[in-house]
Amino acid sequence: MLLVLRLGHRKGRDPRLSTHVGLTARALGADGIIYSGEEDSGLLESIGKVAKKWGGPFKVEYVEKWERKLRVLKRKGFCIVHLTMYGLPVEKEISGIRACYRKCRKLVIVVGSEKVPREMYELADWNVSVTSQPHSEVAALAVFLHEFLQGKELDKKFTKSQVKITPQARGKRVERRP
Amino acid sequence: MLLVLRLGHRKGRDPRLSTHVGLTARALGADGIIYSGEEDSGLLESIGKVAKKWGGPFKVEYVEKWERKLRVLKRKGFCIVHLTMYGLPVEKEISGIRACYRKCRKLVIVVGSEKVPREMYELADWNVSVTSQPHSEVAALAVFLHEFLQGKELDKKFTKSQVKITPQARGKRVERRP
């Protein structure tokens, strides 16, 4: 079970970025996304619609209190990785994280938005950086998932999809299923 | 020379996403970003400010006519990779792209926004997908750069930075230079 937790969603300011976090989580191998911050039914719906059209399974959830949710997940045996530019380099930590996952099979990857509360750094089992440069939680999540799943995520199969792309050297080929 | 070209920027709708594309390009090893679409001096400035504070070199540019720019780059010997969910899998194409780059040392990676004109598919030397699933141009660019540079980008050095992070297991350590 591989989950992503997105902290501090702001309805007016982050709609597209939070959508990209959710779609990236889904496309690159996570089993679900949990949003926190401002409640936004439109965001949950739009991710749900993509998962319905392009295949699943993929869980979408909103929680008001992310600290409580993380403590519950921790009690259930989840390892917690927090992606932050201040953390230890992903390339040095990834094998330890994989080793932990092989035992518990439960991981939650946390990505923030602007300011992440100090408590998050304490709750995390790993604070991990994808470079120590400012860039994007979407990019950090993508590189982390790609490193963690070692490229196997690129070939993930999605069940019960209504559409399917056949890769082309030029142009588009999309198959729609009844 | 490794450039990123971002097509179809929309000033009202895409400010944060386009910023994330630029910062991801910089942090993960590109030498510069070219924006097309709606002209947006604030966007160029904000990327420029990050590059000044966190180190460079990193070029930021706006072009009105992206087709013309790509043709000029092509004449100068650049290989053109277009990231699109309809393209051939990155994991199968990456070694060919690397081989091409070893000869010409010039590559431009194109990412779109909503609809990419058919002409782009024709102009590209490679139309490449990071999964055939809908997700994010930021995530696609991040995974592509990480695959292309084989992880070396994670340790890239930036010159003349005013701030520098020292990675920590918990908390933040930022050094400011005079």
Question: What domains are defined for chain A?
Answer: 2-176 (3.40.1280.10)
Asked if the C-beta of B149 comes within 8 angstroms of chain A's C-beta atoms, the answer is: no
The pLDDT assigned to A51 comes to 96
Sort out which chain A residues have CB atoms less than 8 A from B170's CB and list them.
121-122, 124, 127
Q: Do A139 and B20 touch (CB under 8 A)?
A: yes
Contact B140, B175 (CB under 8 A): no
The pLDDT assigned to A115 comes to 87
Q: Do A28 and B139 touch (CB under 8 A)?
A: yes
Asked if the C-beta of A24 comes within 8 angstroms of chain B's C-beta atoms, the answer is: yes
The SS3 of residue B113 is coil
B-contacting residues of A 73-102, CB under 8 Å? 85-91
CB atoms within 10 A of CB A68: 10
Task: Name A118's Cβ contacts closer than 8 Å, sequence gap at least 6.
Answer: B171
Distance between CA atoms of residues B43 and A126, nearest Å = 33
Q: Do A167 and B135 touch (CB under 8 A)?
A: no
Distance from CA of A98 to the nearest CA of B (A): 17
- pLDDT band for position A55 (cuts 50, 70, 90): very high
Report pLDDT digits (tens) over B54-112. Answer: 999 999 999 999 999 999 999 999 999 999 999 999 999 999 999 999 999 999 999 99
Asked if the C-beta of B170 comes within 8 angstroms of chain A's C-beta atoms, the answer is: yes
Q: How far is CA B97 from CA A9, B7, B80, B108, in A?
A: 37, 21, 9, 11
Q: What is the mean pLDDT of residues A128-145?
A: 98
By CB neighbour count within 10 A (0-12 exposed, 13-18 middle, 19+ buried), where does B114 fall?
A: exposed
Distance from CA of A17 to the nearest CA of B (A): 7
The pLDDT assigned to B13 comes to 83
The proportion of chain A whose per-residue pLDDT surpasses 70, expressed as a percent, equals 100
Q: How much is the ipTM here?
A: 0.97
Judged against a pLDDT cut of 90, whether residue B150 lies above it is answered with yes
Determine which of B13, B131, B146 to mutate to test the interface with A (most A C-beta atoms within 10 Å). Answer: B131
- When the pLDDT of each residue in chain B is averaged and rounded to a whole number, the result is 96
Q: Do A138 and B139 touch (CB under 8 A)?
A: yes
Amino acid at A98: R
pTM of the model: 0.97
Q: DSSP string of B58-79?
A: -EEEE-S-HHHHHHHHHHTT-E
Q: What tokens were used for B98?
A: 């690397």
Q: What is the mean pLDDT of residues B160-168?
A: 96
Sort out which chain A residues have CB atoms less than 8 A from B156's CB and list them.
131
Judged against a pLDDT cut of 80, whether residue A2 lies above it is answered with yes
- pLDDT band for position A15 (cuts 50, 70, 90): confident
